[in-house]
Amino acid sequence: MTGLFHFANLVRAGIRDNQLLWMLVAGFALFPLFTHFADLPFWNDVAMRIMLLGVAAMGLNLVLGYGGMVSFGHAAFIGIGAYCVGISQFFGLSNGLFHILLSIGVCGALGLVIGYLALRTTGIYFIMITLAFAQMLFFLFVSLEQFGGDDGMSIDRADFLIIDLYEPLRLYFLIWVALALVALLLMFIVRSRFGVTLRAIKSNESRIEAMGLVPLHFKITSYVISAMICGLAGTLFASWQEYVSPDIMHWTRSGELMIIIILGGIGTLAGPLLGAIVFLLLEEFLPVALGAVAPAYAENWMILFGPLLIMVVLFGRGGLVGLLDKAIFSRIFRRRMAVK
């Protein structure tokens, strides 16, 4: 009985989740119009950052939310993607499409190696071994003096085939296209046989094994895909920031991605993007709000942000998607349940 109920829930959640995702993606497409007429060009920059972190979080969510593999090292792939741009430019290769293909290829290969080694462990050991690989790469780039070491290297917004990315709005829509493509890809993956198997492995691995499938293959494949998505986000991140340093792959960024996913709603399509929006808007607005009440403490906004995260855990189960769910949809669905 409960199983059926859960299944029905899942189907409904899937549909709503999907709609929410596309509403958000469409919102980002229209956002520059708003900033143009309201004359707030700064907010385009914020929106780009939200989309970049959103893409990375969506990539991580494939393994974390759908596959149940808590990777604490995905910032490494963002960093590798960003360094693919920096190092290519160092050697005079400035084609943006080449950067994207290179970083997807490198991150895929690296994801395959790290995934293969890390997936020998489970649970907390998996969390820590992914962190270990990320830290190794972090310190590797700190030690590479040739590429700036600790100080990092600056990046030229490349000529992306025929488009010149110095015009910020072009970069905005390049990032938007990446967001939309990743959203589309994830929607297909989650609904495909592969995605269903991945979720089944998350809930009971030995049953899937008993069915004659090899769970490891599915896990590694999803790990590689998510590494590639994070690599793509990193490549665009480097162009956006016009700068790359090992800081981009610091372990706190892996933590940040996890926070964004949990905040938004783990294992949902819209969750990571919603989490990124809320996370970065809080980062923008909390200092302002705190500054209005106690001007001397405006820069200490984390004193509010920390307890806010705790409140989300204590009172809002299932992240923001879950909360929205309760607030908006519960009445409608109670009626539907009654009809059934």
Partner 1 sequence: MTLTLILEQIFNGLQAGVTLFLVAAGLTLILGIMDFVFLAHGAQVMIGAYAAAAITQATGNFFVGLGLAIPVTFASGYLLELLIIRHLYQRDHMEQVLATFGLILFFNEAIRIGFGPAALYSDLPESISGFVEILPETPYPAYRLGVIAIGLICALAIHLFVSKTRIGAMVRAGANNPEMTAALGINIKILFRLIFATGACLAGVAGMMLGPLTSVQPGMGEPLLILSLVVIIIGGIGSVRGAFIAAIIVGLVDTLGRVFLPSILRLFFEQATADGAGPALASMLVYILMAVVLIFRPTGLFPAKG
> What is the binding site for partner 1 (CB under 8 A)?
64, 70, 117, 120-122, 124-125, 128-129, 131-133, 135-136, 139-140, 142-145, 149, 251-252, 255, 258-259, 262-263, 266, 297, 300, 302-303, 305-310, 312-314
Q: What is the amino acid identity at position 43?
A: W
Q: What are phi and psi of 153, to 5 degrees?
A: -135, 150
The C-alpha atoms of residue 158 and residue 95 are separated, in whole angstroms, by 6
| C-beta of 71 vs 235, nearer to partner 1 | 71
Separation of alpha carbons 165 and 172, rounded Å: 9
Measured between alpha carbons, how far is residue 293 from residues 279, 300, 308 in Å?
21, 12, 17
Give the helix ranges, DSSP H, for the chain: 2-38, 42-61, 75-90, 96-118, 123-143, 168-191, 193-203, 205-210, 215-241, 251-264, 271-293, 302-315, 319-324, 330-339
How near is the Cβ of 101 to partner 1 at its closest, in Å?
A: 29
CB of 302 to partner 1, least distance (A): 4
154 φ, ψ (degrees, to nearest 5):
-85, 155
Residue 136 vs 196, nearer CB to partner 1: 136
Least distance CB 83 / partner 1 (angstroms): 15
CA-nearest of 240, 226, 228, 230 to 173 is 240
Taking the CA atoms of 194, 196, 197 and 202 in sequence, report the sign of the dihedral they define.
Answer: positive
Q: How far is the CB of 116 from partner 1 (least distance, A)?
A: 10
Rounded distance between C-alpha atoms, residue 58 and residue 68, angstroms: 14
Distance, CA of 240 to CA of 36 (rounded, Å)? 19
Of 110 and 180, which has the nearer Cβ to partner 1?
110
Least Å distance between CB 118 and partner 1? 8
Least distance (Å) between residue 112 CB and partner 1: 15
Min dist. Cβ of residue 179 to partner 1 (A)? 24
Q: Which two tokens stand for residue 198?
A: 């991945």
**Based on CB atoms, which residue is closest to partner 1, 158 or 258?**
258
Q: Which is nearer to partner 1, 227 or 232 (CB)?
A: 227
- Smaller CB separation from partner 1, 61 or 88: 61
Least distance from partner 1 to the Cβ atom of residue 134, Å: 9
Helix, strand or coil for residue 257?
helix
Q: How far is the CB of 95 from partner 1 (least distance, A)?
A: 30
Nearest alpha carbon to residue 28 among 178, 203, 185: 178
Nearer to partner 1, 29 or 144 (CB): 144
Q: Which is nearer to partner 1, 120 or 191 (CB)?
A: 120
For partner 1, which is the closer residue by CB, 126 or 172? Answer: 126
**Residue 73 to residue 135: CA distance in whole angstroms:** 8
